[in-house]
Structure 1
Amino acid sequence: MSTFETHSNPAVVPPARKPGWTSIDFEAPGIQSDFARVPYSSDSSAYGWIPVPMICFNSGRGGPTALLTAGTHGDEYEGQIALRKLVCELKNCELRGRVIILPALNQPAVKAGRRNSPLDGGNLNRLFPGSLHGGPTAVIAHFVANELFPLADVVIDLHSGGTSLDYTPMALAYPGRDASEEESIRRLLKSFAAPYSATTGGSGGGNGTTLYAAAEQQGIPAITTELGGGPTLSKIGLAIAETGLRRVLRDYEIANLGNVFEAPHTSFMRFLDRDGDIYAPRDGLFEPFVKAGDKVTIGQKAGKIHRLDDALTPPVELTFEGSGIVAFTRFPTLTATGDALFGLMIEQEDHNP
């Protein structure tokens, strides 16, 4: 039986000077379910707001807070489903801390099944720490960075390759601003225990404008994931998300959900970024010779681009300029100049036992 009572207050008056608001009292014990309400004036609703689902589990006993998000990109499904399943488990679990869950963070993009918001074209994971003066996507980022980050002791933002990429399952994190933060982040990576754990500076995409980068800048241990690819669901990626979340909640003494395997080995990696990435040099049909997770060497043939407009012209051959493990490949066959086709990573020494 659950040790909590569920509360919801649909009659909410927005606080003054806050562009986003919720009825949830994060300090109150119990289970509360509501929305982060993000004002959005549209042709069909002059004074409407975007409902971003949010659930808070609070033991009322103090203890750490885990902030868990998914649906930052609407076409990435492993994290969205893992968090919905976790909500059902937490309803019947005795907590010692607090868990705040947003399983569809960019709700407009989730409903549309798109990476970016159909409302303003905003890529939520390129808009942190957010703004009060941008579109609704920037306001969602502002709400997370200013209202939720101050509550959190640990942050996990679950991603996958989405429509355009196929990723080998991994967790990623910024390295931390000092040795103490680095140790805290590596502890979180080891607890989640994806097959690969990569530290990154964000040069492959996002730089400091991602959710987990913004959390790091507030001194919060934060990781993100890549758990599959394509506009579908990876059973392997979903299982990694479920077990990783359970293990983190146990290891940080927030909740013990049972059926938690001890952390398997995670290989610490670093991305070669632009030194190892291959981008499409022209429009065409992409024929890869390797898949995500394969080991490759310098000079190895990576694939071909077949021209659409001239079948007599030989295809463009692609060659790896670095050695390592293929972190991702492009998922769709149809490609355009500048599309990311391959990314490489290499092993780094795990200097924290």
Structure 2
Amino acid sequence: MHTGLVHTLDFDRNGKTLGHLSIPFSIDRSPYFQIKVPICSIRNGEGPSLLLMAGNHGDEYEGELSLAKLIRRLEPQRMKGRVTILPMANAPAVMAARRCSPLDGGNLNRAFPGDPSGTPTSRLASFLEAELFSCHEVVFDIHSGGTSMEHLPTALVERNADPERHQRGVDLMRRLGMPFGFIADNGQASPTSMGAARRAGAIGVSGEFGGGGTATVDSMALTARALDRLMMALGVIEAPVLAPDAETASPTRLLALSRHSQGLYATRRGWFEPAVRLGDSVSAGQVAGWYHDLERLELAEEALHFAESGIVLSRRLHTMCEAGDCLMQVAEPVEG
């Protein structure tokens, strides 16, 4: 009773059922405490099986709010198959408005395949990969830039060594209706949810839907449209549930992010002033911004330059930086 993860959900039961994944974790104020991760199962007979999750990082809100809406709005009679919804997968991080869990410091999206007798985050990762992802055909994990990052709205899949399954993932990524999409090369041992989905035999699809630790009209509209389009592409629903009046999406433009040289990193403490905007096309050698040292005001700001050409994919929102902070990323457009 002190390790592992328990729940009482019957994923083969028709109808809508709400419950919790419960992870025992003794703390000072409560020796038999359980971390409660909300989960919802909606099923109507045989059909596609889809797992939707958000709150992998606690400060990324578009997915959390959209999946909470979906739990309330999606009724079994309006769908077929099974949809399992985790609106706040890393629940302690969500409640603390932090990227990682305050209970064990766990970054869920770096914890897979996990350990069933490890820390709470590791136990949750183990259950998701070994038991939950494996009983779904598609896993859709919704992200955004979080509190510290502004991110170009971008769909994502990780490369699959199986050409047929890889193409299936790319096709579903395009069906989301996002303006951009890219394929990550994180390897078979990837510690992410997408790596876990692949190892579990599911098709993994993800994306970055906003940033800044907030939800906007535009980012929520993109998220709602993507959820509706994915469910319709899989045959779960016939008509939109979250965004019935959504505009028609333009074709997704593919990008590639596969080299460390596509990122711009701080090498010391300082304050970064950007020179370009998210989505700008930039060239190798172009000024990316200026690095200020407010502790040595007699020194001129230092110009920082891009090492590669491409489209600005993300930028750090916090002006103060430490060595190792990623300031910007530039993605390479992929033709065809």
Q: TM-score, normalised by structure 2?
A: 0.94
Residue matched to 1:41: 26
Residue matched to 1:23: 8
2: distance between equivalents of 1:145 and 1:160? Answer: 22
Residue matched to 1:144: 128
Residue matched to 2:201: 219
Note the C-alpha offset of 1:133. 3.0
Note the C-alpha offset of 1:261. 5.6
Q: Secondary structure at the match of 1:182?
A: helix
Residue matched to 2:40: 55
Residue matched to 1:10: none
Note the C-alpha offset of 1:178. 1.6
Residue matched to 2:297: 311
% of aligned pairs identical? 36
Note the C-alpha offset of 1:56. 0.4
1:299 pairs with 2:285: yes
1: distance between equivalents of 2:115 and 2:305? Answer: 41
Q: Is the 8 A contact 2:130 2:200 kept in 1?
A: no
Q: Superposition RMSD on alpha carbons, in Å? A: 1.8
Q: Secondary structure at the match of 1:166?
A: strand
Note the C-alpha offset of 1:272. 4.5
Q: Is the 8 A contact 2:3 2:24 kept in 1?
A: no
Deviations 1:178-228 (A, max 9, x none): 21111111111011121111001138xx97000111111223111111111
**Stretches of 4+ moved more than 4 A in 1?**
260-263
Q: Secondary structure at the match of 2:190?
A: helix
Q: Is the 8 A contact 2:185 2:258 kept in 1?
A: no
Which of 131, 143, 156 is the equivalent residue of 2:140?
156
Residue matched to 2:220: 238
2: distance between equivalents of 1:219 and 1:92? Answer: 26
Note the C-alpha offset of 1:262. 5.2
Residue matched to 2:112: 128
2: distance between equivalents of 1:131 and 1:316? Answer: 45
Which consecutive unaligned segments of at least 5 residues does structure 1 have?
1-13
Q: TM-score, normalised by structure 1?
A: 0.90
Deviations 1:325-350 (A, max 9, x none): 00000011111111000101112133
Q: Map of 1:95-110 to 2, 5 A cutoff? A: 95-110=79-94
Residue matched to 2:49: 65
Residue matched to 1:79: 63
1: distance between equivalents of 2:14 and 2:92? Answer: 30
2: distance between equivalents of 1:347 and 1:217? Answer: 28
Counterpart of 1:241 in structure 2: which amino acid? T
1: distance between equivalents of 2:300 and 2:35? Answer: 50
2: distance between equivalents of 1:56 and 1:218? Answer: 19
Say which is worse superposed, 264-273 or 135-144, in terms of deviation. 264-273
Counterpart of 1:162 in structure 2: which amino acid? G
Q: Is the 8 A contact 2:112 2:196 kept in 1?
A: yes
1:254 pairs with 2:239: no
Counterpart of 2:80 in structure 1: which amino acid? R
* Change beyond 3 A, Cα 1:300–1:88: same
Note the C-alpha offset of 1:18. 7.5
Q: Map of 1:341-352 to 2, 5 A cutoff? A: 341-350=327-336
2: distance between equivalents of 1:143 and 1:268? Answer: 32
Q: Is the 8 A contact 2:4 2:117 kept in 1?
A: no
